[in-house]
Amino acid sequence: MNTAPGDAFDEKSMEVGELVVGKKDGVVVEVEWKGYRIGEKVTRRARVKVSATEETMKKAQEEEKEEGEAEEVVEEEEEEEKK
Protein backbone atom coordinates (compact mmCIF):
# COMPACT_ATOMS: atom_id res chain seq x y z
CA MET A 1 0.00 0.00 0.00
CA ASN A 2 1.20 3.47 -0.73
CA THR A 3 0.20 5.37 2.38
CA ALA A 4 1.86 8.78 2.56
CA PRO A 5 1.76 11.98 4.62
CA GLY A 6 -1.15 14.13 3.49
CA ASP A 7 -3.46 11.17 2.82
CA ALA A 8 -6.85 11.05 4.51
CA PHE A 9 -7.02 8.53 7.36
CA ASP A 10 -8.78 5.30 6.35
CA GLU A 11 -9.69 3.01 9.23
CA LYS A 12 -9.92 -0.03 6.94
CA SER A 13 -6.30 0.19 5.84
CA MET A 14 -4.68 2.20 8.66
CA GLU A 15 -4.42 2.20 12.44
CA VAL A 16 -3.64 5.21 14.60
CA GLY A 17 -0.25 5.05 16.26
CA GLU A 18 -0.47 8.56 17.67
CA LEU A 19 -2.65 11.67 17.44
CA VAL A 20 -0.82 14.95 16.92
CA VAL A 21 -2.21 18.47 16.93
CA GLY A 22 -2.75 19.83 13.45
CA LYS A 23 -4.91 22.19 11.42
CA LYS A 24 -7.28 19.46 10.15
CA ASP A 25 -8.71 16.23 11.53
CA GLY A 26 -7.84 12.89 9.99
CA VAL A 27 -4.78 13.67 7.90
CA VAL A 28 -1.79 11.31 7.91
CA VAL A 29 1.25 13.16 9.27
CA GLU A 30 3.74 10.29 9.30
CA VAL A 31 3.78 6.61 8.37
CA GLU A 32 5.22 4.57 11.25
CA TRP A 33 5.08 1.29 9.38
CA LYS A 34 3.90 0.25 5.97
CA GLY A 35 0.69 -1.69 5.41
CA TYR A 36 0.23 -4.61 3.03
CA ARG A 37 -2.51 -5.95 0.76
CA ILE A 38 -2.96 -9.12 -1.20
CA GLY A 39 -5.32 -8.16 -3.98
CA GLU A 40 -8.07 -6.16 -2.28
CA LYS A 41 -7.56 -7.78 1.14
CA VAL A 42 -5.60 -5.81 3.73
CA THR A 43 -3.18 -8.22 5.41
CA ARG A 44 -1.58 -5.61 7.70
CA ARG A 45 -2.86 -2.10 8.25
CA ALA A 46 -0.39 0.77 8.04
CA ARG A 47 0.37 2.39 11.40
CA VAL A 48 0.24 6.17 11.10
CA LYS A 49 0.40 9.40 13.07
CA VAL A 50 -2.81 11.33 12.42
CA SER A 51 -3.56 15.00 12.89
CA ALA A 52 -6.42 16.30 15.03
CA THR A 53 -7.42 19.86 15.86
CA GLU A 54 -6.98 21.07 19.43
CA GLU A 55 -10.76 20.93 19.89
CA THR A 56 -10.87 17.29 18.79
CA MET A 57 -7.94 16.43 21.07
CA LYS A 58 -9.74 17.98 24.07
CA LYS A 59 -12.91 16.02 23.31
CA ALA A 60 -10.92 12.78 23.01
CA GLN A 61 -9.19 13.41 26.36
CA GLU A 62 -12.55 14.10 28.04
CA GLU A 63 -14.02 10.89 26.61
CA GLU A 64 -11.00 8.87 27.79
CA LYS A 65 -11.36 10.36 31.27
CA GLU A 66 -15.08 9.46 31.36
CA GLU A 67 -14.34 5.91 30.18
CA GLY A 68 -11.68 5.51 32.86
CA GLU A 69 -14.10 6.68 35.56
CA ALA A 70 -16.78 4.26 34.29
CA GLU A 71 -14.28 1.36 34.39
CA GLU A 72 -13.41 2.20 38.01
CA VAL A 73 -17.10 2.02 38.98
CA VAL A 74 -17.47 -1.38 37.30
CA GLU A 75 -14.35 -2.69 39.07
CA GLU A 76 -15.67 -1.46 42.43
CA GLU A 77 -19.03 -3.17 41.80
CA GLU A 78 -17.29 -6.43 40.87
CA GLU A 79 -15.24 -6.29 44.09
CA GLU A 80 -18.41 -5.76 46.13
CA GLU A 81 -20.06 -8.77 44.45
CA LYS A 82 -17.11 -10.99 45.41
CA LYS A 83 -17.57 -10.15 49.10
What is the C-alpha to C-alpha distance for residues 65 and 58, in angstroms, rounded to an integer?
Answer: 11
**Element holding 51 (H helix, E strand):** strand 46-52
The range of the structural domain enclosing residue 60 comes to: 54-83
The confidence score (pLDDT) of residue 67 equals 80
Assign residue 44 the CATH number of its domain: 2.30.22.10
Q: Indicate whether 6 and 20 sit together in one domain.
A: yes
Domain count, the chain: 2
Pair (13, 47) in one structural domain: yes
pTM of the predicted protein model? 0.70
**Same-domain check for residues 78 and 66:** yes
Note the pLDDT tens digit of each residue in 57-68. 898 888 888 887
Q: According to the model, what pLDDT value does residue 83 have?
A: 63
